[in-house]
Amino acid sequence: MNKIDRIWPSDAVGKVPYWVYSDPEVYAAELERIWYGPHWLYCALEAEIPEVGDFKTTTLGERPVVVVRSAPDEVSVLENRCAHRGVKFCQARKGHVKDLLCPYHQWNYSLRGDLQGVAFRRGVRGQGGMPADFDPKTISLRKLRVEVANGVVWATFSDETPPFRAYLGERFWQHYTRVYDGRKLAILGYNRQHIPGNWKLMQENIKDPYHASLLHVFFVTFGLFRADQKSATEIDPTGRHGILISRAGRQEINDVTSGMRTFRSDITLSDPRIMDVVREFPGEDTVGMITVFPSVVLQQNQNSLSIRHIVPTGPDGFDFHWTHWCYADDTPEMRLRRTRQANLFGPAGFVSADDSEIIEMGQQGFAHSPDEAGIVLMGGREIESVDHMVTEVGIRGMYRYWREAMGL
């Protein structure tokens, strides 16, 4: 890989240079050091592959993989690249198989990725075949390390990655298990969109509570997420993970909202069922948005639960896959409630469309000024958790970690 000759600004904590979003060399290094490095990447929900032989295909970083239930209590994550001549042999999004078969020459793999059949290995009628020193036992699909944590499948390309719970850290393990509490999950459905902006902008967006009170008129007006509400912005010790916590308020004019351009006291809902929220988690908090670096956002917003998967496609864009889910034992009413609240999220979401648009507008703004830098001073230069949302600490934390991981 070419050497990266970029200099970080002198205000190391308060500024983020724009070349991090557009430099192809930096992006190539991110794939190696972050995506294929010591980090856990989101793969799937167990609910998507309940039976042995059920599989799902997805992409980690830029590499296609197959996520398959290889035993009742085992999930295997294998590179979707045949060991023979590299074909992405599995093309379906989902399915059920007995074994993994590459169509080109029918090399055949067990659900664990071990090569178990090589067509014509012994030749045909004494002709051809593989040489004596060819040993199928030494060949397999590339297998990733896998952990299944309360219904969610995680994988990593690296041997150095700590166990998933340690990767999150105790505090974030608590946040994680608040929603992923071991109950069986079920799929509500998917949304998929391509966002033409650097992948880190999505991580920033969900680590940035500062914008929520200002960009999202819907949130602000109906008090779903607003600066005057009890809230917290936490990061893990490394700074790479974050969570935004908040407690819903009302559509009220007060000392804070009165000063907000985005607060609309005159807007009302003709059918307020979208705001029909029920409390289902311990505590008063109504929003818990977790960013697990680098690949995913875990959304709990009112009763809407989703996993938002980031698949980078270059320095200037990423595919964004939304998996909305519910608990397997949800009542029909609860499923309907979650489906209804999903109107706030996704490519047409009352709130999320603001974010996907702003990310594109960000890339448009700085793509041609790589040597300028953004300012992340809200809440000062501290890098530690705080009990409010008037801060950019989550972003400062992520870049402190990013520089370590990237050696920049």
Partner 1 sequence: MIDRDALRDFYDDYYITLDDVRLDDWPAFFTEDCIYRVIPRENYEAGYTLSTIYAESRGMLVDRVMGVTRTQMYAPRYYRRFPGPLRIVSRDGDSVRTRHNLLVVQTLIDRKSEIVLSAVCHDVLVPDDGRNRLRERIVVFDSEMIPNSLIYPA
- Contacts with Fe ion by CB under 5 A lie at 355
Near partner 1 in 133-172, by CB under 8 A? none
Rounded Cα–Cα distance for residues 80 and 256 (Å): 52
Site track for partner 1 across 228-267, x = CB under 8 A: ------------------------------------x--x
Near its own copies in 228-257, by CB under 8 A? 228, 255-256
Kindly report the number of other CB atoms within 10 A of residue 98's CB atom.
10
Contact present, 328 and 186 (Cβ < 8 Å): yes
Q: Which is nearer to ligand FES, 275 or 358 (CB)?
A: 358
Looking only at Cα atoms, what is the longest distance across the chain?
A: 88
Residues 6+ away with beta carbon under 8 Å from 212: 219, 220, 225, 226, 244, 389
The answer to the question of residue 121 lying near ligand FES (CB under 6 A) is: no
Rounded Cα–Cα distance for residues 110 and 375 (Å): 51
Tokens 């009628």 belong to which residue?
Answer: 125
Near its own copies in 253-282, by CB under 8 A? 255-256, 261-262
The answer to the question of residue 85 lying near ligand FES (CB under 6 A) is: yes
Type of residue at 21: Y
Kindly report the number of other CB atoms within 10 A of residue 385's CB atom.
19
Residues 6+ away with beta carbon under 8 Å from 17: 6, 7, 8, 9, 370, 371, 372, 373, 374
The answer to the question of residue 281 lying near ligand FES (CB under 6 A) is: no
User: CB under 5 to 8 A by kind: which of partner 1, ligand FES, its own copies, none does 388 bind?
Assistant: its own copies
Candidates 38, 53, 136, 196; binder of partner 1 (CB under 8 A) is 196
Which stretches of the chain bind partner 1, using CB under 8 A? 59, 91-93, 103, 187-196, 215-218, 221, 264, 267, 269-271, 273-274, 319, 324, 335-336, 339-340, 342-343, 346-348, 350, 353-354, 356-358, 360-361
Which stretches of the chain bind ligand FES, using CB under 6 A? 82, 84-85, 87, 89, 102, 104-105, 107
